[in-house]
Amino acid sequence: KLAPLIAPSILSADLARLGDEVANVLAAGADIVHFDVMDNHYVPNLTFGPAIAESLRKFGISAPIDVHLMVEPVDDLAAQFAKAGATYVTFHPEASRHVDRSLQAIKAAGCKAGLVFNPATPLDVLKYVMDKVDMVLLMSVNPGFGGQSFIPGALNKLADARALIDAYVAKNPGREIRLEIDGGVKTDNIGAIAAAGADTFVAGSAIFGARDYASTIKAMRAAIAA
Ligand code: DX5
Ligand code: ZN
């Protein structure tokens, strides 16, 4: 079992003070920076591109950056984020014409690659590309906005994804594949989410909406461990 990672989504940060917000949330105990990229095409909202990731690196942020692409097409932006210093690049399979090629390109660019599944999207493509996947990200809201409520059906889907990953890793020792959950994660449901099999936890509004980032992250870790 992999050590749990807390991944604050900067979508809910005070974007006018982004560098300080990211530094503060890392100082408060976060592990990785979740970076939501929206294009007003794949999702009906618009956020930030590779220049912002590059600026965070120049500002001195050295923690892993977990780029969640909600864009269509995928490949050009994935390459730009790799150049900008992304650690993980994940994308929605239905947004890429050639999923295997996109995964290969992300890995060739030196990043860890992952696939993101919307609440109603089946996991079936996963089994054909498991050898190229370092992260499986399950959406527990429909993508596009922070602050939505957790869709309970995601718990059963986490268990399904956990079983697929465990079966693959049992046959391929040494492979590390993270199972990340994104959307509506709070201190009061994160324990059940961990029990269902997640090891990487995105939280936007629950962390950046709290007055004290450190005590919120601490409470999340305690609930995961319980
Ligand atoms: C939604 C994004 C999420 C979102 C999570 O499209 O992928 O990362 O910011 O926000 P909360 O934690 O507020 O649901
Ligand atoms: Zn996200």
Q: From the candidates 66, 134, 182, 199, give the one annotated as an active-site residue.
A: 182
Tokens of 80: 């730009």
Residue 200 Cβ inside 6 Å of ligand 1? The answer reads no
Residue 54: name the closest of 70, 76, 35 by CA.
35
pLDDT along the chain (226 residues), means of 10: 97 98 98 98 98 98 98 98 98 98 98 98 96 98 98 98 98 97 98 98 98 98 97
Question: Residue 196: what pLDDT?
Answer: 98
CATH of the domain at 75: 3.20.20.70
Specify the number of domains making up the chain.
1
User: Tell me, what's the ipTM?
Assistant: 0.98
List the Cα angle 33/37/38 in 5-degree steps. Answer: 150
Residues by chain with Cβ below 5 Å of ion ligand 2: 36, 68, 182
Q: Is 145 annotated as a binding residue?
A: yes
Q: Which of 31, 36, 39, 199 is catalytic?
A: 36
Distance of CA 70 to the CA centre of its chain: 11
pTM for the model stands at: 0.98
- Cβ burial of 109 (10 Å; 0-12, 13-18, 19+) is middle
In this prediction, residue 147 carries a pLDDT of 97
What mean pLDDT value characterizes the chain?
98
- pLDDT for position 33: 98
Does the annotation count 182 as an active-site position? yes
Range of the domain at 166: 5-225
Q: Is 36 a catalytic residue?
A: yes
Q: Is 204 annotated as a binding residue?
A: yes
- Burial pattern 47-74, b for ≥16 Cβ within 10 A else e, equals bbebebbbebeeeebebbbbbbbbbbbb
The pLDDT value recorded for residue 99 is: 98
Q: Give strand pairing partners of 70.
A: 38
